[in-house]
Amino acid sequence: MKESDWKLFKEIRKKAIERFCESALNEFREAMDKENEHVHNRYLLHFKLVQIRNRQMALIFDDNSRSKAHLQLLAIRGEGLADEDLISKLSEEFRDQTDPKAHGW
């Protein structure tokens, strides 16, 4: 992996984590704001959503390394979390390796 791609990947990953967390927090808020649901049911739903989102976060973002960057970027792009302006600055080779459409995502 080129050094320039690695540096861009780290930026893309950082922004993707922010997007992921914002999305998860919005989902949690929606679950908690369901006034027509019993408070205990809202709590249980919130707890379940946190567990699910935590597993997703681990699958996408844990074990960050150069050797796994292409897999992480594939997942980030596949989940729609990538900053496309930064993606466009990657080398053509790295963009192609991490194109979710090319991998059936």
Q: Which residues contact 20 (CB under 8 A, 6 or more apart)?
A: 53, 56, 57, 60, 61, 79, 81
**Average confidence (pLDDT) over 88-96:** 96
Dihedral pair phi/psi, residue 38, rounded to 5° = -60, 145
Instruction: Give the residue-averaged pLDDT of 45-72.
Output: 95
Question: What's the pTM value of the predicted model, to 2 decimals?
Answer: 0.89
Query: Could you give the CA distance from residue 38 to residue 45 in angstroms, rounded to a whole number?
Result: 11
Residue 1 has a pLDDT of 87
pLDDT of residue 104: 85
Is pLDDT of 38 > 90?
A: yes
pLDDT classification of 5: cutoffs 50, 70, 90: very high
pLDDT (0 to 100) of residue 39: 93
Would you kindly state where each structural domain of the chain is located, as residue ranges?
3-98
pLDDT of residue 103: 84
- pLDDT of amino acid 46: 93
Q: What is the mean pLDDT of residues 55-75?
A: 94
For residue 15, CA distances in Å to 4, 12, 18, 77, 81 come to: 17, 5, 5, 12, 8
